[in-house]
Amino acid sequence: MAPTTPYKVLAVCLGNICRSPLAEGLIQRKADEAGLNWQVASAGTGNWHVGNPPDPRSRAVAKENGLDISHQRAQTVTSTLLEEYDLILAMDRQNLTDLKSRATEQQARKIKLLLDYTELSKTHGPDVFDPYWDDSGFEGVYRLLEEAAVKVVEIGNKK
Ligand code: 4NP
């Protein structure tokens, strides 16, 4: 039997070192646990950190929670990624605007604001807070992304 093609999910933030690597790791883990054939990746709208592993603070909070994201390397959003991925999840409204400005009309339909898509914006507001400038934010971002990852997989499971 031919292997089925995976459902491809791309998490996007600004630097691809703090938020979206955590989102990638968490969504991939929840999808794997649910037995889904999902391929999850992440990218940044900016290119400052291309080739770098996730921020040590993101790696640390992931590790504390039994999640290893240290193999990841930052990449920039490209038209190829926008074409190849089935669902593209922006961490905040600026990321969403930047993504849509680079996307074709057809690609733009696949781009969602993570917290709107998961309906967590009703309780948490629209944006996954950027923790880069403040060490104290990483734990909260992890918890929020964990909640969001559960919902993303639930929504995907119903499709
Ligand atoms: P991220 O956080 O978008 O969650 O990866 C940031 C990382 C780096 C920078 C900004 C935000 N930066 O300006 O270098």
> How do the domains of the chain map onto residue ranges?
7-157
Residue 98: both structure tokens together? 């930047």
Q: Specify the ligand 1 atom closest to the Cα of 74.
A: 5
The active-site residue, picked from 55, 92, 98, 130, is 130
From atom 6 of ligand 1, which residue's Cα is the shortest distance away? 15
pTM (two decimals): 0.97
Nearest to 10 by CA among 41, 39, 53: 41
pLDDT digits (tens, 9 = 90+) for 12-49: 999 999 999 999 999 999 999 999 999 999 999 999 99
CATH number at 7-157 = 3.40.50.2300
pLDDT digits (tens, 9 = 90+) for 97-114: 999 999 999 999 999 999
In whole angstroms, what is the distance from residue 72 CA to residue 17 CA? 9
